[in-house]
């Protein structure tokens, strides 16, 4: 692989990163807050590739009696293994993997595995109160539902199978990227949607003083009494 081919590979890789970022495909891999860093990295790769190609074309038109400064010319190529860099580039360009979902929720323990020693402020006025699954879980488990009582709560997530074999609501939480994703799980009672796993739903209901143990890591899974639910399209940002 000569220098020109290396530049082309780097340009394809940078372009793939930029395309994935522009099309929101990157949200399948990392958190939304990392978007500026991905754009910067993609632009840096493309700029480096363009500059390399410019220098390569300039050297091609250099007279033969003006060899490169290192007296080795530019005919020597890099290792052939460099072509393997095309694989992640083509992967980003041609393959859109699904986000982590019900399978991850079944294999990994709930994120509610440590006590959050904090004061929970009252929910904002108006029903339903829209909460993330993690917010609801902490308030339900570690605050004994104090701020959730007598309130209608709205949660959004995908359907997974709970420890009791019944449907539950889940969502994957990322610290940085999909490799460290862990699920947050909320059990469902009442008007429970009977849908296939990984189906996205929005549910509205009330906190109930009931929990179950996650068989994976023995953490508490809080429950919600469902009054209303509706099937929705998967959001662009599927991770919490």
Query: CB-based contacts of 37: which residues, under 8 Å, 6+ apart?
Result: none
pLDDT in tens, 4-49: 777 777 887 887 788 778 877 777 777 777 788 888 888 888 888 8
The phi-psi region of residue 126 (left if phi > 0; otherwise alpha if psi is between -120 and 50; otherwise beta) is left
pLDDT (average), residues 102-123: 83
Give me the residues paired with residue 155 across strands. 203
pLDDT beyond 80 at 134: yes
Residue 82 shares a structural domain with residue 131: no
Residue 39 shares a structural domain with residue 141: no
Write b or e for each residue in 30-46: b if 16 or more Cβ atoms lie within 10 A of its Cβ, otherwise e: bbeebeeebeebbeebb
Closest CA to 169 of 96, 101, 114: 101
Number of domains in the chain: 2
Residue 31 shares a structural domain with residue 122: no
Residue 71 lies in a domain: yes
Residue 71 shares a structural domain with residue 183: no
Residue 238 lies in a domain: no
pTM exceeds 0.85 for this model: no
Answer with the one of 56, 74, 94 that is the final residue of a domain: 94
pLDDT in tens, 158-203: 999 988 888 999 999 988 887 788 999 999 999 887 899 999 999 9
Q: Write the DSSP assignment of 60-113 as a string of letters.
A: HTS-TTS--TTSS-S-----GGGGGGHHHHHHHHH--PPPS-HHHHHHS--S--
Residue 45 shares a structural domain with residue 110: no
Pairing between β-strand 182-190 and β-strand 167-173 as defined by DSSP bridges: antiparallel
pLDDT in tens, 115-133: 666 778 899 888 999 999 9
* CATH code (residue 226): 2.40.50
pLDDT beyond 90 at 236: no
**In angstroms, rounded to a whole number, what is the distance separating the alpha carbons of residues 222 and 107?**
18
**In angstroms, rounded to a whole number, what is the distance separating the alpha carbons of residues 11 and 235?**
31
Read off the pLDDT band of 79 (50, 70, 90): low
Residue 162 shares a structural domain with residue 200: yes
Read off the pLDDT band of 94 (50, 70, 90): low
Cβ count near 108 (within 10 Å)? 17
Return the pLDDT at 64.
58
Residue 166 shares a structural domain with residue 218: yes
In 81-227, which ranges are continuous DSSP H helix? 86-94, 102-107, 133-142
Answer with the one of 43, 63, 94 that is the final residue of a domain: 94
Residue 111 shares a structural domain with residue 173: yes
Q: How far apart are the first and last CA of the chain?
A: 42
In the three-class reduction of DSSP (H, G, I as helix; E, B as strand; rest coil), residue 224 is classed as strand
Between 47 and 65, where is the model more confident? Answer: 47
Closest CA to 226 of 143, 183, 172, 168: 168
Residue 74 lies in a domain: yes
Answer with the one of 94, 120, 140 that is the final residue of a domain: 94
Residue 87 shares a structural domain with residue 114: no
Residue 210 lies in domain: 102-231
């Amino acid at each position: 692989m000569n220098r020109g081919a290396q530049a082309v590979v780097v340009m394809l890789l940078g372009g793939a990163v930029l395309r994935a970022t522009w099309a929101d495909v990157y949200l399948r891999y990392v958190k939304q807050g990392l978007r500026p860093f991905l754009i910067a990295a993609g632009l840096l790769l493309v700029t480096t590739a363009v500059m390399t190609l410019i220098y390569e074309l300039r050297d091609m038109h250099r007279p033969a009696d003006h060899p490169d400064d290192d007296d080795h010319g530019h005919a020597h190529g890099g290792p052939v293994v460099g072509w393997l860099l095309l694989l992640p580039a083509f992967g980003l360009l041609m393959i859109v993997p699904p986000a982590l979902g019900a399978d991850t929720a079944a294999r990994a323990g709930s994120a509610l595995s440590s006590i959050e020693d904090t004061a929970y402020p009252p929910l904002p006025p108006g029903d339903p109160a829209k909460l993330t699954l993690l917010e609801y879980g902490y308030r339900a488990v570690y605050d004994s539902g104090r701020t959730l009582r007598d309130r209608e709560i709205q949660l959004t997530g995908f359907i997974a199978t709970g420890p009791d074999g019944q449907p539950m609501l889940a969502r994957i939480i990322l610290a940085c990227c999909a490799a460290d994703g862990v699920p947050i799980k909320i059990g469902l009672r009442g008007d429970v949607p009977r849908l296939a796993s990984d189906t996205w739903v929005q549910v509205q209901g009330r906190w109930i003083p009931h929990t179950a143990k996650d068989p994976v890591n023995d953490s508490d899974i809080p429950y919600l009494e469902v009054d209303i639910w509706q099937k929705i399209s998967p959001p662009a940002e599927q991770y919490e």
